[in-house]
Amino acid sequence: MVIGERLKMARKMAGMSQQELGERAGVSRMSISKYERDINVPKSQVLIKLAKALGVKIEYLLRPVEVRLSEPLFRKCTALPKKKEYQILEKTRDWVERYLEVEALFNDTPQYSMPNIENSIMELDDVEEAVLQLRKEWDLGLDPIDNLLEVLEDKGIKVWTIDQEHDHFDALEIWANDETPILVVRGGIPGDRQRFDLAHELGHMLLDVDEALDEEKAAHRFAGAFLAPKPKVFEELGRNRQHLSVKELLILKQKYGLSMQAWIYRAKDLGIISQSKMRQMFIEIRKRNWHKKEPGEQIEPERPQRLKQLVLRALAENVITRPRAEELLRQPLQGLEREEI
């Protein structure tokens, strides 16, 4: 029995140090270190205490590690503490393991393939054409995307929202076993910000940005263009404006699921308003504190549904038992059945 790597993953997922785990399980820090390095193997009673302290089932600690994660690409405002990074990564690995396990029960789940688009970005305006090609290949047309998260899942991109209290974490792009793209966004944020974060990470994943350009700016441009394509922006705003009204921006925000501030950037990027007008509008936004919370009705965040759908399908077809379904979802089915559809 080799549990070292799994034990270390569970400890990091719980956000504990070796010392903290040892204290909770009633063993020494040195013992935890030896278990994690597979120098020693915990006896059954110790294993039970470790699982209880970590909040996982014993089966979790005994299961071999089957998901390899690539080097993560975090999007954050400032440095995220390493402890938090590890916690997010191991929670993500656990979620991906469960997802891939239930997905393997069926042979008709969507698999990701790299879109055939011109993704070499030599200047920021190249992003606009890349977006139009992507929308065409994915058969999205130019109209607003009702549910971005659902579109990504349909294309074989795994999407997860994680309840993460740390303000410095926005989103994460990572690959599982070198073939499955994973996008993780923070839960509890407005829907327009969530959609922008997802589109931003999609841009990082798809674009090959020239080293002379700012990759973050290219991903920002991609996010705005993907949610509000250039032809539709011209159709909505015209080609030359002296001013954009708040009411107008609120209507467009609800229609496209793109924030007022992102619409102002789109207008500037496409030459509809000037740089000075954009600065003037953002000064007014900050005066009104709208940079923290925009006025009007807030857009509800989107929720990933495919894992739940697959588990419920497997349960309905008697492929898995009810307890196994609850373990895969990490929640009682009774609670799931009470959720709003």
- What's the whole-number average pLDDT of the chain? 91
CB 88 within 8 A of CB 169: yes
Res 233 pLDDT > 60: yes
Q: What is the pLDDT of residue 309?
A: 93
- How much is the pTM? 0.86
Largest CA distance in the chain: 74
Q: State the average pLDDT over residues 105-114.
A: 90
Q: Which pair of structure tokens corresponds to residue 228? A: 């509000």
Q: What is the pLDDT of residue 209?
A: 96
180-186 and 158-162 strand pairing: parallel
Q: State the average pLDDT over residues 72-78.
A: 70
**Distance between CA atoms of 116 and 224, rounded to whole angstroms?**
21
With CA atoms as reference, report the closest residue to 113 among 163, 181, 53: 181
**Distance between CA atoms of 11 and 87, rounded to whole angstroms?**
9
**Distance between CA atoms of 14 and 25, rounded to whole angstroms?**
13
Q: Which pair of structure tokens corresponds to residue 79? A: 């440095």
170 or 153, which is more confident:
153
**Distance between CA atoms of 271 and 240, rounded to whole angstroms?**
7
Single-letter amino acid code for the residue at 222: F
**Distance between CA atoms of 205 and 1, rounded to whole angstroms?**
38
Q: Edge-to-edge strand order for the sheet containing 158-162?
A: 73-75, 171-176, 180-186, 158-162
Q: Which pair of structure tokens corresponds to residue 249? A: 């921006």
Q: State the average pLDDT over residues 239-252.
A: 96
Res 64 pLDDT > 60: yes
CB 322 within 8 A of CB 113: no
Sign of CA dihedral 167, 172, 176, 182: positive
C-alpha torsion 172→177→178→182, nearest 10: -30
Domains and their CATH numbers in the chain: 1-65 (1.10.260.40), 120-287 (1.10.10.2910), 306-338 (no CATH)
Share of the chain above pLDDT 70, in %: 95
CB 191 within 8 A of CB 302: yes
Residues 272-330: tens digit of each pLDDT: 999 999 999 999 999 999 998 999 999 999 999 999 999 999 999 999 999 899 989 98
Q: What is the pLDDT of residue 164?
A: 60
